[in-house]
Structure 1
Amino acid sequence: MLKILRGLGWTLAGLLVLAIVVWCASRMWPVPESRLQAQQRLEARLPATGHNGYALLWTLPFDDLDAQQREQALAEDVRRWEADAHGGSSGQTHLVANHAEQHSRPGASCGPAASGCLAQVRADPQRFVEAHAGHQQLHARLDQLADADYFASPFRPKGEGILVPLPAYGVVMDATSARALAYVQGDIDGALRGACRGLQLGRRLVPGGSYLVESIIGASLVQANAQLLADMLVELPADHPLPAECEQAMQPLRAEEQSLCRAMQGEYAMSRAAIESSAQEFGGVLVLDRSSTLARVAGNLGWACGAAATAALEADRPLPVQAPPQRYFGCLSNVMGCVLTEIAAPVYPAYSSRSQDAAAMLRLLGAQRWLRQQAQDPAEALQRLPAEFRSPVRSPRLSVNGHHLQVPRRSPARSADENPWLTVPLQAEPASAALARD
Structure 2
Amino acid sequence: MLKILRGLGWTLMGLLVLAIVVWCASRMWPIPESRLQAQQRLETRLPAPGRNGYAQLWTLAVDGLDALQREQALAEDVRRWDAEPHGNNVTQPQHSSRPDALHPRASASCGPAAGGCLAQVRADPQRFAEAHAGHHALHARLEQLAEADNFVSPFQPKGEGILVPLPTYGLVVDATSARALAYIQGDVDGALRGSCLGLQLGRRLVPGGSSLVESIVGASLVQANAQLLADMLVELPADHPLPAECALAMQPMRADEQSLCRAMQGEYAMSRAAIETSSREFGGVLVLDRSSTLARVAGNLGWACGAAATAALEADRPLPVSAPPQRDFGCLSNIMGCVLTDIAAPAYPAYSSRTQDAAAMLRLLGAQRWLRQQADDPSDALQRLPAQFRSPVRAPQLSADGSRLQVPRRSPSRSAAESPWLSVPLQASPAAGATARD
With normalisation by structure 1, the TM-score equals: 0.98
Q: CA deviation at 1:293?
A: 0.2
Letter in 2 for 1:313: L
Provide the residue aligned with 1:324 in structure 2: 324
Distance (Å, rounded) in 2 between the aligned partners of 1:307 and 1:7: 60
Distance (Å, rounded) in 2 between the aligned partners of 1:422 and 1:265: 29
Segment drifting more, 278-287 vs 298-307: 298-307
Are the structure 2 counterparts of residues 98 and 402 from structure 1 closer, same or farther at C-alpha, using a change threshold of 3 Å?
Answer: closer
Q: CA deviation at 1:179?
A: 0.3
| 1:406 and 2:406 matched | yes
Provide the residue aligned with 2:63 in structure 1: 63
Alignment of 1:99-138 (within 5 A): 100-138=100-138
Alignment of 1:367-386 (within 5 A): 367-386=367-386
Q: CA deviation at 1:87?
A: 2.2
| 1:312 and 2:312 matched | yes
RMSD: 1.0
Q: Secondary structure at the match of 2:303?
A: helix
Q: CA deviation at 1:261?
A: 0.3
Alignment of 1:31-430 (within 5 A): 31-98=31-98, 100-430=100-430
CA contact (8 A) 1:81 1:89 kept: yes
Q: CA deviation at 1:343?
A: 0.4
* CA offset digits 1:387-414 (Å, max 9, x no partner): 0000011000000000000000000000
Letter in 1 for 2:146: A
Letter in 1 for 2:420: P
Distance (Å, rounded) in 2 between the aligned partners of 1:107 and 1:207: 30
Matched length: 433
Q: Secondary structure at the match of 2:381?
A: helix
Q: CA deviation at 1:430?
A: 2.0
Distance (Å, rounded) in 2 between the aligned partners of 1:198 and 1:275: 37
CA contact (8 A) 2:364 2:406 kept: yes
Provide the residue aligned with 2:4 in structure 1: 4
Provide the residue aligned with 1:436 in structure 2: none
Letter in 1 for 2:313: L
Distance (Å, rounded) in 2 between the aligned partners of 1:129 and 1:430: 24
CA contact (8 A) 1:62 1:101 kept: yes
CA contact (8 A) 2:80 2:90 kept: no
Letter in 1 for 2:337: G
Distance (Å, rounded) in 2 between the aligned partners of 1:260 and 1:106: 29
Provide the residue aligned with 2:436 in structure 1: none
Segment drifting more, 42-51 vs 85-94: 85-94
Letter in 2 for 1:301: L
Q: Secondary structure at the match of 1:424?
A: strand
Segment drifting more, 30-39 vs 90-99: 90-99
CA contact (8 A) 1:62 1:99 kept: no
| 1:24 and 2:46 matched | no
Segment drifting more, 95-104 vs 385-394: 95-104
CA contact (8 A) 2:77 2:90 kept: no
Q: CA deviation at 1:150?
A: 0.4
CA contact (8 A) 2:202 2:217 kept: yes
Letter in 1 for 2:214: E
Segment drifting more, 177-186 vs 423-432: 423-432
Q: Secondary structure at the match of 1:143?
A: helix
Distance (Å, rounded) in 2 between the aligned partners of 1:418 and 1:119: 15
CA contact (8 A) 1:196 1:225 kept: yes
* CA offset digits 1:203-257 (Å, max 9, x no partner): 0000111100110000000000000000000000000000000000000000000
CA contact (8 A) 2:317 2:393 kept: yes
Unaligned runs of 5+ in 2: 434-438
Distance (Å, rounded) in 1 between the aligned partners of 2:408 and 2:96: 43
Q: CA deviation at 1:432?
A: 7.7
Distance (Å, rounded) in 2 between the aligned partners of 1:97 and 1:420: 41
* CA offset digits 1:322-368 (Å, max 9, x no partner): 11111100000000000000000100000000000000000000000
Distance (Å, rounded) in 1 between the aligned partners of 2:312 and 2:180: 34
Q: CA deviation at 1:171?
A: 0.4
Q: CA deviation at 1:70?
A: 0.1
Letter in 2 for 1:367: A
* CA offset digits 1:15-59 (Å, max 9, x no partner): 000000000000000000110011111111111111000000000
Distance (Å, rounded) in 1 between the aligned partners of 2:98 and 2:220: 32
Q: Secondary structure at the match of 2:348?
A: helix
Distance (Å, rounded) in 1 between the aligned partners of 2:347 and 2:223: 21
Q: CA deviation at 1:90?
A: 4.2
Distance (Å, rounded) in 2 between the aligned partners of 1:331 and 1:286: 11
Distance (Å, rounded) in 2 between the aligned partners of 1:236 and 1:179: 16
Q: Secondary structure at the match of 1:346?
A: helix
Distance (Å, rounded) in 2 between the aligned partners of 1:136 and 1:120: 20
CA contact (8 A) 1:367 1:385 kept: yes
Unaligned runs of 5+ in 1: 434-438
Letter in 2 for 1:174: D
Distance (Å, rounded) in 2 between the aligned partners of 1:278 and 1:223: 39
Distance (Å, rounded) in 1 between the aligned partners of 2:432 and 2:147: 37
Q: CA deviation at 1:91?
A: 1.6
With normalisation by structure 2, the TM-score equals: 0.98
Q: CA deviation at 1:99?
A: 5.4
Q: CA deviation at 1:88?
A: 2.4
Q: Secondary structure at the match of 2:299?
A: helix
Letter in 2 for 1:39: Q
CA contact (8 A) 2:81 2:90 kept: no
Letter in 1 for 2:298: A
Letter in 2 for 1:192: L
CA contact (8 A) 1:252 1:363 kept: yes
CA contact (8 A) 1:394 1:407 kept: yes
Q: Secondary structure at the match of 1:241?
A: coil
Q: Secondary structure at the match of 1:345?
A: helix
